[in-house]
A = this chain, B = another copy of it.
Amino acid sequence: MPATSERIASLDTYDIRFPTSRELDGSDAMNPDPDYSAAYVVLRTTEGGDEGHGFTFTIGRGNDVQVAAIGALRDHVVGRSVAALCADPGSLSRDLVGDSQLRWLGPEKGVMHMAVGAVVNAVWDLAAKRAGKPLWRFLADADPGWLVSQVDFRYLTDTLTPDEALELLRRGRQGAGDRAAALVHRGYPAYTTSPGWLGYSDEKLTRLARQAVDEGFTQIKLKVGADLDDDIRRCRAARAAVGPDIRMAVDANQRWGVEEAVAWTRALAEFDPYWIEEPTSPDDILGHAAIRRGVHPVRVATGEHVQNRIVFKQLLQAGAVDVLQLDSARVAGVNENLAVLLLAAKFGVPVCPHAGGVGLCELVQHLAMFDYVALTGTTENRVIEYVDHLHQHFLDPVVVTGGHYRAPASPGFSAAMKQTSIDTYTYPHGTFWAADAARAAAAAPAATAAGAPGQDTEVPA
């Protein structure tokens, strides 16, 4: 129980970047060479002890801009009562989203909105730690009326009212204790994207796809969208490797316009793709609806780049998605994701969260597990994305065995990175990047002579 005089003493930010582009991990049709990064925030209190950790995921350049945006929220946070914050994270969420001057930079989208998400998630991490529970259980144990109070219904009430949300949460509480026990026993279903990165050879794809099945996954995912002939060849190889009973999703990462999305997806239909993910711009609600009509029975999935609850609302209103892929660090944190989960529950659309990157698996598992235990009560047709990258940098990394996420037991949101990882990968002065710059400087005269000045972290051909 925090002392009533305890305040937030500091909001510290870190620009952390991992050189993932060098291995083509994470390569897809729109993101050929990501350096998985975190704009990371730590809230410390006047009494010491538990800290709140949160972050925004980015893929390299611009992580400094994201860090600056988080810093712009500092004055809203430092000095606040820890007890009041933990009792009502929504009050901070509303203040951050509603800052009338900062709001102009969105509103409720992009860099500024993701910064709000990082800070709000750090507060939930702190609140769950202070309650001594992993976040999923902290949420599942919460009073339904209190959960409703944590949601910003502005721009939602034509579709979801507070009373409807309360009813959904009250129904969700029935049997929650049994489901929590089942979750701890069995875990939550996962699918894996690890085999399907676009930069991988067919041999590596096939090998990793077989391995995924051996490990107990019942769904894999392949990146598509750069070249149709390549996609046909890769889908054929993957389908042959996993057999007819494993679900195989494909992901275009926003590569196409509407007509192209329909044509391309139809051309892959013979390989029985389970869903086509991000076929076009995440902003194109009506486009997704048209694509869904055009590619049936292939399902349409999107959400990792959907900017806020208002766009999710419309994707559901327009019947534009079969699968909703919320992301833990794209919208304004847990509070807005509660709204998204409630919207999906009302429409009966399964949520299969986006994960991967750095730390996204660690965060989002809590939201899906809460949804199962205390909202929709089911994992049918629901899977959390899993990518086996960078978990070693976290203090409480995800555990995935037998194709299932194991329920976290440690208090908090599983967001905290190891201090050694922070020290090593902070950009540009952490030990890895400083050494990298020294190597580049030593090699520079040769590179210039070879006619390649100004290149930085290019992927080797």
A residues neighboring B (CB under 8 Å):
30-35, 58-62, 64-66, 68-69, 72, 79, 99-114, 153-158, 254, 257-259, 280-287, 290, 305, 307-308, 310-311, 313-314, 317-318, 454
Q: Tell me if B101 and A283 are in contact (CB < 8 A).
A: no
Q: Of residues A69, A102, A105, A287, which shows the largest number of chain B Cβ atoms within 10 Å of its Cβ? A: A105
Q: What is the distance, in angstroms, from A454's C-beta to the closest C-beta of chain B?
A: 8
| Measured CA separation A65–B67 after assembly (Å) | 9
Q: Tell me if A283 and B103 are in contact (CB < 8 A).
A: no
| Measured CA separation A257–B259 after assembly (Å) | 33
Q: Tell me if B72 and A281 are in contact (CB < 8 A).
A: no
Cβ of A259: which chain B residues have Cβ within 8 Å of it? Answer: 157-158
Q: Tell me if B106 and A110 are in contact (CB < 8 A).
A: yes
Number of this chain's copies in the assembly equals 2
| Measured CA separation A155–B107 after assembly (Å) | 22
Give 22 A-B contacts (CB < 8 Å), ordered by A residue: A31-B103, A32-B100, A33-B101, A34-B100, A58-B101, A59-B100, A59-B104, A61-B102, A65-B69, A66-B105, A68-B68, A79-B454, A106-B110, A109-B307, A155-B287, A156-B257, A158-B257, A281-B310, A284-B310, A285-B314, A286-B317, A286-B318
Name the CB-closest residue of B to A259.
B158
> A33-B100, A157-B259, A281-B155 known; A65 and B72 CB under 8 Å?
yes
| Measured CA separation A65–B103 after assembly (Å) | 12
Name the CB-closest residue of B to A287.
B158
Q: Tell me if B110 and A62 are in contact (CB < 8 A).
A: no
A283: which of B68, B102, B109, B153 is its contact (CB, 8 Å)?
B109
Q: Of residues A104, A111, A114, A156, which shows the largest number of chain B Cβ atoms within 10 Å of its Cβ? A: A104
Name the CB-closest residue of B to A29.
B100
Name the CB-closest residue of B to A21.
B101
A65: which of B33, B68, B282, B310 is its contact (CB, 8 Å)?
B68
A61: which of B99, B107, B110 is its contact (CB, 8 Å)?
B99
A62: which of B61, B101, B154 is its contact (CB, 8 Å)?
B101
Name the CB-closest residue of B to A153.
B257
Task: List 6 A-B pairs, minimum CB-CB distance, nearest first.
Answer: A110-B110, A111-B111, A158-B258, A61-B101, A60-B101, A283-B310
**18 more A-B residue pairs beyond the given contacts A58-B101, A285-B314, with a C-beta to C-beta distance below 8 A:** A31-B100, A32-B100, A33-B100, A62-B72, A62-B104, A62-B105, A65-B111, A66-B105, A69-B111, A79-B454, A107-B254, A108-B283, A110-B111, A153-B257, A281-B310, A284-B310, A284-B314, A287-B314
Q: Tell me if A65 and B112 are in contact (CB < 8 A).
A: yes
